Amino acid sequence: MSEILKAIAAPSNPNVPQVRPGDTISVFVRIKEGNNERTQEFRGTVIRERNGGENANFTVRRVASNGVGVERTFLSCSPRLEKVVVHRHAHVRRANLYFMRTRTGKNARLKQKFN
């Protein structure tokens, strides 16, 4: 990528730390409703992380009520992300944890990694 494009591209969001697949995180997203702005927490497991400069993104999966899985993808550089909190890491052997989609209940747990 040319130097000019690097200078123009969206700068990285300083409130977003490095996240890894398997991490349990909370993403605090600014949401605009009419004239009000509020922050919404989205807590779940990171099942995918994609690099790519200004287009870098990660996908968080959480199981909502009635066992309905909800996945949300966030752009790492997005100014809408107020903060990202990493609660725990997990031992995973894959880069993309798509197998989590077919698992429910106790089967959907990941082994915690301490470091």
Partner 1 sequence: MLKGLIGKKIGMTQIFDEAGAALPVTIIEAGPCYVTQVCTVESEGYSAVQLGFGEVKPKSLTGGQLGHLKRNNMPPLRFLREFREKNPELKEGDQVTVEVFKVGERVDVIGTSKGKGFQGAVKRYHFKGGPKTHGQSDRHRAPGSRSSTTTPGRVYKGARGPGHMGNDRVTVQNLKVVLVDTERNLIGIHGAVPGAKDGLVLIKEARKQ
32 lies in the site for partner 1, by CB under 8 A: yes
Window of 6-14, 18-26, 93-101, 107-115 that interacts with partner 1 by CB under 8 A: 6-14
Compute how many residues bind partner 1; rule: CB under 8 A.
17
Considering only residues 20, 50, 54, 108, which one is a binding residue for partner 1 as defined by CB under 8 A? 54
Interactions with partner 1, residue window 55-74 (CB under 8 A): 55
Q: Which of 114, 13, 101, 7 is nearest to 57 (CA)?
A: 13
Q: How far is CA 88 from CA 5, 22, 30, 59, in A?
A: 36, 9, 23, 16
Q: What is the DSSP letter of 54?
A: G
Residues 42, 62: Cα–Cα separation, whole Å: 8
Question: Interface with partner 1 by CB under 8 A: which residues?
Answer: 1-2, 4-5, 7-10, 30, 32, 54-55, 75, 77-80
